[in-house]
Amino acid sequence: MNIALIAHDKKKDELVQFATAYQTIFAKHTLFATGTTGLRISEATGLSITRFQSGPLGGDQQIGAMIAKNNMDAVFFFRDPLSSQPHEPDVTALVRLCDVYSIPLATNMGTAELLIRGLELGLIEWRNIVKDNGENNGK
């Protein structure tokens, strides 16, 4: 499965801790992340992560493009709901794309725990069927 890891500045430590706790599960998947978040997770865990630009510099849009092409299976996006973000329209667009393409999205620790356990149990395998059938991919 292709998994995106994104975190706002005040949530980066939390996502790094989460990725460290579940690195054995994440290691079984292909990981993508925005710039600094990906670097910090990679340094803390040793996981191989394809890094995009920082979120405000287009990283959110790069992950959104993967979603729109049906090339992303799950997104862990630890958002900071109490701080304004300079790239809020990009954040909103990314969340909307997850809804449009039925991509599981965890925006906080509570949903992240459920999503990671679902990945561990194989409950997201329906994504392979969607990709194989070309659904949401214009085929």
Please say whether the beta carbons of 109 and 18 come within 8 A: yes
The whole-angstrom separation of Cα 26 and Cα 119 is: 9
Positions marked active-site: 60
The whole-angstrom separation of Cα 139 and Cα 125 is: 20
Q: What is the dihedral of CA 110, 112, 114, 116, to 10 degrees?
A: -150
The DSSP result for 74-100, as a single string, is EEEEE--TTS--TTHHHHHHHHHHHHH
Quick one: tokens of 115? 């999503």
Q: 59-68 and 88-100 are packed helices; what angle lies between their axes, rounded to 10 degrees? A: 20
